[in-house]
Structure 1
């Protein structure tokens, strides 16, 4: 008798606080036999850190360590080639578990379908084994909530940009935005600062580090000159649109 395949669950963990997980995510995390997560080599991994103390004693962990992060420029053809091989290898391991009837919980920071690494596994796994995605609060939602002010009003247009974009593209997107979120900051901070100045939005920008985590920090970007920021920092500019 052929054993039914297991299911791969891409579980969104939200911005960082355990009590912001959905009920479904909490249940899957606490009961998972196989738990996979991405991390940089030598680091515990942000997703794994979020669930500290939640995993079952019997959980079998599968850390998926990025072969490159910032060592090779995004424009270098080797970058996609190396990462493609990495995602294929991770997919093979997860698929073998699912083909053997095992369920696997893949921990995902924020929402799995919002700029997350899980998407690269999802597209490779979906044709072959059952895959379910558990949505979550996004990191940017946690960030703008931390500022204590609404991000959009009335008909405001919200624009989300990646700090990895070239400066001219950032400036163009910023100029056309009412409300703005810039993600993937890290070593791109000086470029993002320059773009915000050129777009006339620098003085209104907030820098949020570790949103919804114990070490959360919120300050005006102009008060953080020269500061080295973590990759997962987020910059927001609030909309000021129509209101009654």
Structure 2
């Protein structure tokens, strides 16, 4: 008799502080025999660092190691193909446990469906396995809390903008926004700061890196060293204050 398939859990574990995990995420994490996490080669990854204190001795961790992250690739290698193949292989590894009747919790920093790596596994597996997604506190909200910056007042709209965008597109989208969170900085930081200043938003823009993590750092935008801005940093441009 074949065993029933396991359940797939996509757990948002928050932006960095383990106490920002939801009660539901902790419960489902601790009851899952297999805990899968994504990380760069040679690193634990932020998601695993967040949840380590909640793990039980009998749980098995399943590392899914990216073949490439932000480094420049040789001309003969295609980033999109490499990453697609990686997610195909990772989905197959997770599916092997699910087919054997073991539940798998895939942990995801922030929220699983907000720039979360889990979404690519969800695309490949959710049609074949019972899947539960638990939302998490995303980095934008963690950053706003750390900075003490209300994001949007009354009828204002918030734009989430990728710093990877070309300069003119980034400028257009930011100019059209009441408030904005600019993510995916790293090597894109000089371009982002240039656009912010050209739009006259330097006095409103706020910068934080690794918000809510132990190595969190808040700096004035003008004082950030472009060479040191990590990928996990955010520039917030809060909506203009409304006097109630």
Q: With structure 1 as the length reference, what TM-score do the two structures score? A: 0.94
Q: What are the residue-to-residue correspondences of 1:71-110 with 2, within 5 Å? A: 71-72=71-72, 78-110=78-110
Tell me what 1:154 maps to: 154
**Contact 1:156/1:241 (8 A) holds in 2:** no
User: 5+ residue gaps in structure 2?
Assistant: none
SS of equivalent to 1:234: strand
Tell me what 1:191 maps to: 191
**Contact 1:154/1:241 (8 A) holds in 2:** no
After alignment, is 142-151 or 24-33 more displaced? 24-33
Tell me what 1:169 maps to: 169
1:130 partnered with 2:125? no
SS of equivalent to 2:28: helix
Residue 216 of structure 1 deviates from its aligned partner by: 1.8
**Contact 2:187/2:227 (8 A) holds in 1:** no
Q: What are the residue-to-residue correspondences of 1:1-244 with 2, within 5 Å? A: 1-72=1-72, 78-226=78-226, 228-240=228-240, 242-244=242-244
SS of equivalent to 1:150: coil
Deviations along 1:48-84, whole A, 9 cap, x unmatched? 11112221101111111111112247xx981111100
SS of equivalent to 2:206: strand
Q: With structure 2 as the length reference, what TM-score do the two structures score? A: 0.94
CA change 1:226–1:127 in 2 (3 A) is: closer
Q: Distance in 1 between matches of 2:149 and 2:79?
A: 38
Q: Distance in 1 between matches of 2:227 and 2:153?
A: 30
Q: Distance in 2 between matches of 1:202 and 1:31?
A: 47
Q: Distance in 2 between matches of 1:206 and 1:15?
A: 18
**Contact 1:15/1:138 (8 A) holds in 2:** yes
Residue 201 of structure 1 deviates from its aligned partner by: 1.4
| Aligned length in residues | 243
Q: CA RMSD in A?
A: 1.8
CA change 1:216–1:71 in 2 (3 A) is: closer
